[in-house]
Amino acid sequence: MVHPMMADLGLEKSLSALIELRVSQINQCAYCVNLHLSDARKAGVGQKKLDNLIVWKHVDVFTRAERGAFAWAEALTFWPLIQITGLCAPHYVPITAIRTLP
């Protein structure tokens, strides 16, 4: 299931599922990880991306849009622990621009 806010932004179901999966990994919620893994597979996300999501910063399997979305999601999830500019700077893309990136 795509989160309504992400659907309203026009994000692809596959990207929405990857974002929710990444946040679930950070939060260490086993139920949520399993739920969003299933959603990602239904949305057509390949196994290579699922296997590498946890290390997205260190692999070249994700698009610029996906990397920007993961940085944004991590910044919001880690907000109390870090400064947002330090986490997002290398990958920053305004969230409204993500759907237009290659």
Structure tokens, 77:
């999830």
Structure tokens, 59:
């692999």
Confidence class for position 19, pLDDT limits 50, 70, 90: very high
Residue 44 predicted with pLDDT over 70 = yes
Interval 57-83 mean pLDDT = 84
Q: Kindly report which listed range (9-18, 30-39, 61-70, 88-97) carries the lowest average pLDDT score.
A: 88-97
H-type helices in 43-92, by residue range? 47-52, 64-77, 84-88
Quote the CA–CA distance of 29 and 43 in Å, as a whole number. Answer: 21
Domain 4-100 has CATH 1.10.600.10: no
Q: Where are the domains of the chain?
A: 4-100
